[in-house]
Amino acid sequence: MSTWGNAPVTPETARILRVSVVLPIFNERENLGPLLNEIAEALKHVAHEVVAVDDASTDGSDRELEQLAANSDTVQIIRLGRPSGQSAALAAGFERARACLIATLDADGQNDPADLVSLLAAVEDGEADAAIGVRVRRQDSRWKRLQGSIANRARDLITGDVVRDTGCGVRVMRAQFARRLPRFKGMHRFIPTLLRREGARVIEREVAHRPRLYGKTKYGMWDRVFVGLWDAVGVRWLLRRRLPVQLVEDTRNDQ
């Protein structure tokens, strides 16, 4: 079932659905069918929905999604009017998600949906408010891994928060925290740190990483390192400017 309008959160829907899987997509047409099949298999015993957010793809991903959604009762589609980036796609998905837990995956097929099960269990069991993946045995080129390592270390130094793998798209988090994340371009690179800023308990768990079978990466050295470092300065400012408000007592007279 394809949904292009609003899908409101209701108490009944939240009780039925255990998790909403938000999938940001930009020019990943060939990966979509296999990935949605894998999500359905991995979560076959879990009441879930897939919120597929097409970031104005130009390769026919939108048409492919419509065809796939027509044969599924779990997939709803959001299509952004113009290319807005991964952060905007995630933010749109967070707002549309109807379950109390939100999961994310990259749409390039390099994340294994089976890893969501253990992360989901960790959050549902109360171990944390968010479980974030750490990719092991990375299936990327040495150059790409080096870029990621440099970017990770630099961001940790600037923000003061230690995150082993900020680039991993495998996450499960409570929706209440996901929806409170500050919205800005580049937000997706700092989700663990921003969740902690909102008071969430965040844990990291090792997850699989697979080679890309179709398409090519959409980000280069400039995006990973230089733009990411500038964003890190902004995140450091956000962390320092957070309002430490704690409600002790509500003194309103309701009579």
Residue type, 114: A
| Range with lowest mean pLDDT among 1-10, 11-20, 209-218 | 1-10
What are the tens digits of pLDDT across the range 7-18? 555 555 556 899
Structure tokens at 238: 């956000």
**C-beta separation of 103 from 22 below 8 A:** yes
Structure tokens at 26: 């930009």
Could you give the angle at the alpha carbon of 55 between the alpha carbons of 138 and 4, nearest 5°? 125
Strands (E) in 26-170, as ranges, are 48-54, 75-79, 101-104, 130-135
pTM over 0.85: no
To the nearest 5 percent, what fractions of the chain are helix, strand and coil?
A: 40, 15, 45
pLDDT at 4 over 50: no
pLDDT at 222 over 60: no
What are the tens digits of pLDDT across the range 123-167? 999 999 999 999 987 766 676 666 667 677 777 778 888 888 888
Number of Cβ within 10 Å of residue 122's Cβ equals 16
CATH fold, domain 11-141+162-212, is: Spore Coat Polysaccharide Biosynthesis Protein SpsA; Chain A (3.90.550)
What CA–CA distance (Å, rounded) separates 200 from 192?
A: 9
How many residues comprise the chain? 255
Structure tokens at 249: 């007592």
**C-beta separation of 2 from 69 below 8 A:** yes
